[in-house]
């Protein structure tokens, strides 16, 4: 791939499954590997750092969650994308499909149009739940990924 024209982007995969407890407060996803990383957006951990020369990005991906056991109707997981600790709006916080008292699986699609940023800004993705009486739940590493790319105008 010839990237001499200035495009920069990263695609990250979750490091490992993340267990969520009942009524889990939001926690940042820890990325484990980059399928590509043009522009040095990521080195390790939770933070995606906007590289020099990037002022507009597009972000997309998926977060797949599994809940097993019995949960009260209406419980859900939520996924948030933050820039420098501030939740993006809209939509910012995306709720997974509500549960109806049985085991369930769902995917929260992350799709954001143009996001204004500055070099050095930190992008993080968090997940949490309002589960009540769930026996267990997790975010699946092999089906959770995010892509962030620069937008050239």
Which segments of the chain have a pLDDT < 50?
Answer: 2, 91-92, 98
The reported pLDDT for the residue numbered 117 is 96
Return the pLDDT at 6: 74
Q: What integer pLDDT is reported at residue 113 of this predicted model?
A: 81
- What is the pairing mode between strands 18-19 and 134-139? antiparallel
75-92 residue pLDDT tens: 667 788 899 999 886 544
Q: Which two tokens stand for residue 126?
A: 């968090």
SS3 annotation, the chain: CCCCCCCCEEEEEECCCEECCCCCCCEECCEEEEEEEECCCCCCECCEECCCCCCEEEEEEEEEEEEEECCCCCCCEEEEEEECCEECCCCCEEECCCCCCCCEEEEEEEEEEEEECCCCCEEEEEEEECCCCEEEEEECHHHCEEEEEECCC
Confidence at residue 72, expressed as pLDDT on a 0 to 100 scale: 58
Contact 11, 79 (CB under 8 A): no
Tokens 């930190």 map to which residue?
122
pTM: 0.83
Radius of gyration of the chain, Cα coordinates, nearest whole angstrom: 16
State pLDDT tens for residues 117-126. 999 999 999 8
Q: Copy the structure tokens of residue 88.
A: 């993006």
Contact 151, 53 (CB under 8 A): no
The pLDDT value given to residue 145: 93
């Amino acid at each position: 791939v010839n990237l001499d024209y200035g495009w920069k982007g990263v695609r990250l995969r979750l490091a490992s499954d993340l267990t969520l407890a009942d009524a889990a407060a939001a926690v940042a996803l820890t990325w484990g590997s980059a399928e590509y990383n043009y522009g040095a957006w990521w080195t390790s951990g939770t933070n995606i750092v906007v590289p020099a020369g990037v002022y507009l990005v597009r972000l997309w991906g998926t977060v797949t969650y599994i809940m097993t056991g019995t949960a009260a109707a209406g419980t859900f997981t939520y996924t948030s994308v933050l820039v420098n600790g501030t939740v993006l709006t809209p939509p910012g916080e995306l709720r997974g499909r509500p549960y109806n008292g049985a085991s369930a699986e769902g995917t929260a699609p992350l799709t954001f149009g143009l996001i204004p940023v500055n070099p050095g800004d930190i992008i993080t993705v968090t997940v949490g739940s309002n589960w009540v009486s769930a026996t267990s739940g997790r975010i699946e590493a092999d089906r959770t990924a995010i892509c962030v790319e620069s937008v050239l105008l």
